[in-house]
Structure 1
Amino acid sequence: MKQRLTNTVKFIYGTGDVASNLVWTTVGSFLTMYYTDVALISAATVGTLMLVSRILDGITDLTMGWIINRTRSRFGKARPWLIASAPVLCLLLVMVFSVPSGVKINEKVVYATVTYVLICAVAYTASNLSYSIMCNLMTRNIEERNQMNTIRFIMAFLTQLFVNSYTVIWVDRLGGGSAGWTRLMIIYAAVAMAIFGLVFVFCKEDPEMLDEQNSAEKMKLQIKDILQGLMNGKHYMILALGIYVCFYMQLILMNSSMVYFARDVLGKKEMTISLTMFMLIPSLLMLPFVPKLARRFGVHRTLSLGYLFGIIGPGVVWFSNGDLHLIFAGRILYGINQALVAPLVQTKVSQMADYNCIINNGMPLIGVTNSVTSFGVKIGVGLGGAMVGWLLQVGQYQATAAVQNSSALAMENALFSIIPCVFGVLCFLLNLGWDIGKAFDQARSDLEMK
């Protein structure tokens, strides 16, 4: 299949994940700690808040996918939503990390709930879903999609490396406390807004693909017709949903508990830098080879290998007994998991969208297929964040304590190792049946024979 996108366009598309992760990684890695240690909201309340918000978020994902499917504008289908949501997302990033001080705790909880629901269920949903769908609408070529997703996740990992390593340091340098968080979020929001603008200007959807998606008959489809079309995808949608839930539960459990693990279990909050670097640097070194591995061994087999590393990595940390060499080895293995899984799972979703279109006689299902997996992301993030809050409460974590008790330390250790390991096992098992590439090839062959 002919390649048509320039390297410049592919690169600029990939930088969109810098903007997304200035929001996503900051919220996923630090908001729980901000709520418990700065806003002084109880861990159990934080956990419940995050779960309820993410469930609402998942519902809006499906709605947003349907809206994008029905959008018809001179800028395309997904692209206008990217630029429309960007300023809202950036403003809410600042607001989320600006819980008012000097007010009653119930008022803090209401403020946190409203702003968290808005950033997750409205702004980030519209932004990230439209950004992901743009890849499907810019090219049909699977190699180009692999290249774009690889660049995208290189940028994502670089941003995660920066955010997880330097956010706490820069908060302190900008004054610390609530004011330090607000000031840093203003900087992050300004950079994210500029990058979203570049992606909007340079990354355009394919006119031919838009014409196909925008035919009069297809634009009249109701949401019930589209949902029925998704159900025709047999068990693949259910498997994909389960994989996304489990993968993001694993990711959020480790990211949200890392600062607690470094500060309390290892005794130095600065260790978050080392823990991040030993995970993300191997990921960055591995990512350029992922398209070649996928070509040689197939996307499905390479992805299965990635999920195996997602089991072994956290498991090594669990059995490390505090040995830094083993902890860092576990992080390296988990980094390989991230490099193999992040781009390839998105490629499989693209294949699944194409598969759903074929088996439903060309019905436009790109938007809602991506929204289902995005729904899985939000549920996984919500459950993962909730588990961190709830289990810290079970471990009797005290935000104001200079030294945590043994049960809190044990829980922080488990949240960073053995519990994520369990979700790694679930990802591997679910992926065994999610060979969507094989199903797509068969569906295309059947269509050609008609």
Structure 2
Amino acid sequence: MSTKEKLGYGLGDAGFNLYWTTIASFIAAFYTDVFGISAAAAGTMLLVTKIFDAFTDPVMGAVADRTRTRWGKFRPFLIWGGAPLALAALMTFTTPELGALGRLVWAYVTYSVMMICYTIVSTPYSALSGVMTSRSQDRTSLISIRFIFAFGCGALVNRYTLPLVEQFGQGDPARGWQLTIGLYGILATLVFLLTFLSTRERIAPPITQQSHAVGDLKDLLDNKPWLILFALALIIMLTITMRAGSSYYYFNYYLVKPELLSSYLFWQMIFYAVGAACTPLMTRFIDKAKLLMLLMALTATFSICLYFVPKDGIPLIFTLNCLISLCLGPKSPLTWSMYADTADYTEWKTGRRATAMTFAAATFSQKLGGAFGSAIMLWLLALLGYQANQAQAGSSLVGINLLQTVIPGVFALIAAVLVTRYTLTGKRLRQIQLDLETR
């Protein structure tokens, strides 16, 4: 692959993060403080809709694996799905003049449609990395570039979304959110077109392959390395979602310094990107699984330390946030590269290859993790007495601090232990890829 093609593929995730980062960082705050539904109702809505959405990923994986066009299996979805996704996002961030029940129904419907549209574009995009090259180190490089773009765009989204909402809204946050998401939708659609034009698909299933969706799922359930990654992705997403989603509450109510939130989230994403950029270099010296275990252990340590920092220790809060983000940054390049390796393992073991299903089922676990992360966060806030746009009681403040620090740290520690069970590494992986080349 040329550098141009790697950059073209990576650029696509900048488009996705115009949506994903906005959802991760601001959707909970939008629903409670602008849209006007309670924290408990928002938490339940996000859980129910994301679980429903997660089950669409394997379906989309089966569809993509069986798509046949002159442009390939996966690339066409980038241009077929971009505009519908932009329109669905616009509707999601529109606040209608309805009663409490009407708004809640609107939230359920529009958020569900947006996430289905997101799945239609993102599942083939993720699978595309598995058919552009067969070399493990090249995959790590390709996916690292992808996440440099992802985190770089995420940094800009975190830094400028709230100022854009204020600028466009002119005192009307509902209108500000609507116009901001409209702008992001237009930009994302153009980015997806550029990714379509600059990439190629090189790896295809065996010519004689006869398979069906149920068989593809059975192959995954028989793939122990993939099952480990499935559980790992779910747990790590709990860490990431809680950190991102609780940041708004942490700065607005716990630290009472809302003016620092955009900078906090900006530097969080910058250090995610730095970590992603360092991944190809680190994997030259450290096995991917061992590196991931070390990084998650460090994430747990730094997160728990953050709990004990006093409210006026802003420089230390920012420093620990950057260290945590630096450790989490390589997570995405590592795990997505490992997913492509598990697709090779399935083909080596069974003679069948279902790249999109492998990545779709992986996205399924991430969405479940994100769903439970958002729901647990909002349910805990409701349980502790959170009231939107008001000073919080003592128990609510303790809960907000825990959501930003200790609770994500505990999940990171569980992930560090789990990754020790992953066995598709070193000489075993190299032999599998040599066998596939020979075939």
TM-score, reference length from structure 2? 0.95
**1:157 is the counterpart of 2:151:** yes
Moved more, 277-286 or 137-146: 277-286
Contact 1:397 1:408 in 2 (8 A): yes
Cα shift at 1:158: 1.0
1:348, 1:437 within 8 Å by CA — same for their partners in 2?
no
Gaps of 5+ in 1: none
8 Å CA contact 2:67–2:73 kept in 1: the answer is yes
2:42 to 29, 46, 49: 46
CA deviations over 1:246-300 (Å, ceiling 9, x no partner): 1111111111110111111111212112322442333333433321110111212
Matched with 1:412 is: 400
Matched-pair contact (CA < 8 Å) for 2:344–2:353: no
The correspondence for 2:10, drawn from 7, 10, 14, is 14
Asked if the contact 1:232–1:359 (Cα under 8 Å) also holds between the matched residues in 2, the reply is no
SS at structure 2 position matched to 1:295: coil
Correspondence for 2:365 among 376, 388, 399:
376
How far off is 1:449 after superposition?
10
| Mean CA deviation greater in 433-442 or 65-74 | 433-442
Task: Structure 2: give runs of 5+ residues left out of the alignment.
Answer: none
Cross-structure match for 1:200 = 196
User: Do 1:316 and 1:327's aligned partners in 2 also have CA atoms closer than 8 Å?
Assistant: no
Q: Could you report, residue by residue, the CA deviation over 1:315-361 in whole angstroms, capped at 9, with x for unpaired residues?
A: 12112132223312221221112222121111111111111111112
Q: Distance in 2 between matches of 1:342 and 1:312?
A: 20
Contact 2:156 2:266 (C-alpha < 8 Å) held by counterparts: no
Of residues 399, 418, 435 in structure 2, which corresponds to 1:430?
418
CA contact (8 A) 1:100 1:108 kept: yes
Equivalent pairs counted in the alignment come to: 435
Deviation of 1:448 after TM superposition, in Å, equals 9.2
CA–CA distance in structure 2, aligned partners of residues 158 and 312 of structure 1? 25
> What residue number does 2:104 align with?
109
CA distance in 2: counterparts of 1:446 and 1:9, whole angstroms: 27
Cα root mean square deviation, aligned: 1.8
Q: Which residue of 2 aligns with 1:440?
A: 429
Distance 2:437 2:147 in 1: 34
The residue that corresponds to 2:124 in the other structure is 130
Q: 2:281 aligns with which of 271, 292, 300?
A: 292
1:144 alignment partner, one of 138, 155, 178:
138
Q: Is the 8 Å Cα contact of residues 94 and 178 (structure 2) preserved in structure 1? A: yes
The Cα shift of 1:382 comes to 0.5
Q: What amino acid is the match of 1:27? A: I
Match of 1:180 in 2: 176
The C-alpha deviation readout for 1:61-92, integer Å capped at 9, x for no partner, is: 11111111111111111111222121111111
Label 1:435 to 1:28 Cα distance change in 2 as closer, same or farther (>3 A): same
- TM-score, reference length from structure 1: 0.92
For 1:447 and 1:181, how far apart are their aligned partners in 2? 50
Tell me the SS of whatever aligns to 1:62.
helix
Q: What do residues 391-431 of structure 1 show as CA deviations (whole Å, max 9, x unaligned)?
A: 11011111142x12212211111111111111101111111
Q: Deviations for 1:301-326, whole angstroms, at most 9, x for unmatched residues?
A: 22222212221231121121322233
Residue 342 of structure 2: SS of its match in structure 1?
helix
2:374 paired with 1:365:
no
Give how far 1:196 is off: 0.5
What residue is the counterpart of 1:246 in the other structure? Answer: 235
